[in-house]
Amino acid sequence: DAGVTQSPTHLIKTRGQHVTLRCSPISGHKSVSWYQQVLGQGPQFIFQYYEKEERGRGNFPDRFSARQFPNYSSELNVNALLLGDSALYLCASSSSRGYGYTFGSGTRLTVV
């Protein structure tokens, strides 16, 4: 069985640009969450989607947005990139909202 897959694995963007990160959950999982992990810190919750509806939003600016598609895959979009957005972005999927999450390997975003 494929785990949670994220793409791309790495990317470099310039300040002010826009980025789209993608996530495919484990087959059968309907919940997808996004986290930002800055070096030396624990992951910080950005969004959760369940059955294609936003079910939670963390303390991130409106430059961050996400959506979930009918096949339960998800995209995280970040506009007007700042240097401080450089981080590892993690996607996690779950069969329900609170009972165990499987994480992908993440997308390493570097903003220069």
Q: Which residues of the shown chain bind another protein in the complex (CB under 8 A)? A: 31, 33, 35, 40-45, 48, 50, 55-56, 58, 90, 92, 94, 96-106
> Of 21 and 81, which CB lies nearer to another protein in the complex structure?
21
> Where on the phi/psi map is residue 70: left (φ > 0), alpha (ψ -120 to 50), or beta?
alpha
CB of 40 to another protein, least distance (A): 8
> Of 26 and 81, which CB lies nearer to another protein in the complex structure?
26
> Of 11 and 88, which CB lies nearer to another protein in the complex structure?
88
CB of 16 to another protein, least distance (A): 29
Distance CA 79, CA 50 (A): 23
Are 2 and 99 spatial neighbours (Cβ–Cβ below 8 Å)?
A: no
What are the φ and ψ backbone dihedral angles of 84, each rounded to 5 degrees? -70, -10
CB of 42 to another protein, least distance (A): 3
Among residues 5, 22, 4, 21, which one has the least CA distance to residue 110? Answer: 21
